[in-house]
């Protein structure tokens, strides 16, 4: 069982920002940037090639909602989406990285502090 399956089952805690019947959205505990977020499919599917079009569109809709939240709470000014497949996929479970972009370089904050800033 991979780390994302354990998070989905509640066996490992996460800084969850959103959850529905299809996905769970949480902050990456090893972020590249403040607000680095993962959208993870709740079913164990390997990658984009195992996903139907409706699910992919749902994930993109959630990505837009989370981007809006990050812009409001963290004052980000752009967003990079990253989704690896095959060799580049570190965890073999579909996930989409949302990496907020900032005009000025920011010091990396503690993930818990970022979570509190977003959720309050």
Catalytic site includes residue 95: yes
CATH code for position 95: 3.30.428.10
Minimal CA–CA distance to 113: which of 75, 72, 79, 74? 74
Global pTM reads 0.95
Q: Pick the catalytic residue from 41, 58, 95, 120.
A: 95
Beta strands in the chain (DSSP E): 16-19, 23-27, 37-41, 78-82, 95-101
Number of compact structural domains in the chain: 1
- The model's pLDDT over 50-109, given as tens digits with 9 standing for 90+, comes to 999 999 999 999 999 999 999 999 999 999 999 999 888 899 999 999 999 999 988 999
- Parent domain of 103: 3-119
At 18-47, the pLDDT tens digits run 999 999 999 999 999 999 999 999 999 999
Count the Cβ atoms, other than its own, within 10 Å of residue 55: 17
């Amino acid at each position: 069982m991979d780390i994302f399956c354990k998070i989905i089952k509640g066996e490992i805690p996460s800084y969850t920002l959103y959850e529905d019947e299809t996905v769970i959205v949480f902050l990456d505990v090893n972020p590249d940037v403040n607000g680095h977020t993962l959208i993870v499919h709740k079913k164990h599917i390997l990658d984009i090639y195992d996903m139907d079009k409706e699910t992919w569109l749902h994930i993109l809709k959630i990505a837009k909602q989370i981007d809006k939240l990050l812009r409001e709470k963290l004052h980000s000014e752009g967003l990079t989406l990253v989704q690896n497949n095959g060799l580049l996929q570190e965890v073999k479970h579909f996930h989409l990285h949302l990496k907020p972009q900032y005009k000025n370089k920011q010091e990396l904050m503690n993930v818990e502090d970022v979570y509190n800033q977003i959720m309050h």
